Amino acid sequence: MEALRAKARELLESRTVQVVVGHEQGSVPGRPRPVFVRKIEDVDRLVAGEGGTINLAVYLLKPEVQALGRPALVADPAALRTVLQLASENQIRDGALVALALDDGRLTELKDLAAIEAFVAERPAGLPAEDQQRIAEIEAMSREDRWTWWLEQFSRCLKCYACRAACPMCYCPRCVVECNQPQWVPAAAHPRGNLEWHLCRAMHLAGRCVGCGACARACPVGIPLDLLTQVLARQIEADFGVRAGTRAKADYVLASFRTTDKEDFIR
C-alpha cells in the first residue's frame, strides 16, 4: 500500500498523470469504494482495494472522468484484461493511461499496452472453480429445470441496469434498451422483458466479456448473471480459440469468421 501511494505521488508530482483512479476506505470496513485522486495531499486515501466490488476500468470511458486528464488506473488482473479488450475495440489509445497493477500485494507500473499484454499473459484468466461448479450444476439439470431455474432467477430482476452500469464493456452511448422505435426490450420489469434483457445482454457481451464478475456483484437481487457471459466465453474459446482481454489488437470474434468454422446443426 505504501508502494502504491508513493508511486501515485510520484506520478502526480511529475504530472505524468492528472488523476489516479483507485480505491479508498469506504464507510463499511472491508468494502472500499472508488476514489479519484487529483491532489497530492489526497494520495494517502488510496488503499489496496481488497473486497472492492467494482471493476475500476469502468470509469475509463466516462466523459466526466476523461475530462480530468490522463489517468493512472490501480488495476487488478481483471481490470487489466478490460483495458486490453477496450483497446482492441479502439476505445483506448496506446499510452492513454498508466496501469498500476496490483497482484498479490505487489505493485507493477505498466506504461503501455504491450506491457499490460505481457503482464496479463503471465496470469491467464481461467473460470473460477466456484463458477465452473455452478455452471456444471446448471448444465446437469434437465432442460425444463434449467428454464424454470433461470426464470426464477430473472423474476427477481428490477431492471435497474446496475449490471450494465457496472460493466466496463457496456459503453454504448445509447443502449438497445433505451431504443423505443422499435422497443426491443420492454422497459418494465416483468418476466418476459427480464428474460429478453438478460439474453440480449449476454449476446452483446459474447466474445467481449473478460469475466471480471462486476455485473453479478452489482446486482442488488443476486442474479448470477455473469454465468451467462462466462458460459459463452468458454464456448467461444473452445469453438474459435479466442479469449477476450488477452490482446490489445484483436478482431471482434463475432465480427470476423473463418471459412472453416465447424458446426453440426445447419442442414
136 binds another protein (CB under 8 A): no
Task: Tell me the closest approach of the beta carbon of residue 114 to another protein, in angstroms.
Answer: 29
Task: Tell me the closest approach of the beta carbon of residue 80 to another protein, in angstroms.
Answer: 25
Cβ nearer to another protein, comparing 105 with 222: 222
**Candidate list 31, 38, 146, 249; residue touching another protein; CB under 8 A:** 146
Cβ nearer to another protein, comparing 16 with 180: 180
Choose the binding region for another protein from 62-70, 93-101, 107-115, 149-157 (rule: CB under 8 A).
149-157
259 binds another protein (CB under 8 A): yes
49 binds another protein (CB under 8 A): no
190 binds another protein (CB under 8 A): yes
How big is the site for another protein, counted in residues (CB under 8 A)? 47
φ, ψ dihedrals at 2, nearest 5°: -65, -40
Choose the binding region for another protein from 25-33, 86-94, 95-103, 200-208 (rule: CB under 8 A).
200-208
* Residue bearing cell 457481451: 205
Cβ nearer to another protein, comparing 36 with 240: 240
Cβ nearer to another protein, comparing 92 with 236: 236
Q: Which residues contact 76 (CB under 8 A, 6 or more apart)?
A: 49, 101, 102, 103
Q: Which residues contact 97 (CB under 8 A, 6 or more apart)?
A: 17, 60, 70, 71, 72, 73, 83
Using DSSP, state whether 61 is helix, strand or coil. coil
Alpha-carbon gap, residue 216 to 157, rounded angstroms: 12
Alpha-carbon gap, residue 206 to 229, rounded angstroms: 6
Choose the binding region for another protein from 20-28, 42-50, 101-109, 231-239 (rule: CB under 8 A).
231-239
Cβ nearer to another protein, comparing 174 with 267: 267
Cβ nearer to another protein, comparing 81 with 198: 198
Q: What sign for the dihedral angle of Cα 75, 77, 80, 85?
A: negative
**Phi/psi class of residue 72: alpha, beta or left (left: φ > 0; alpha: ψ in -120 to 50)?**
beta
133 binds another protein (CB under 8 A): no
Cβ nearer to another protein, comparing 121 with 141: 141
State the CB neighbour count (10 A cutoff) for residue 13: 10
| Nearest to 70, CA basis, from 90, 108, 99 | 99
* Residue bearing cell 434437465: 142
89 binds another protein (CB under 8 A): no
Q: Give yes or no for a contact between 109 and 135, defined as CB atoms under 8 angstroms apart.
A: no
Q: What is the amino acid identity at position 35? A: V
Q: Which residues bind another protein (CB under 8 A)?
A: 138-139, 141, 143-151, 184, 186, 188, 190-193, 195-196, 198-200, 202-203, 206-207, 228, 231-232, 235-236, 239-240, 253-259, 261, 263, 265-267
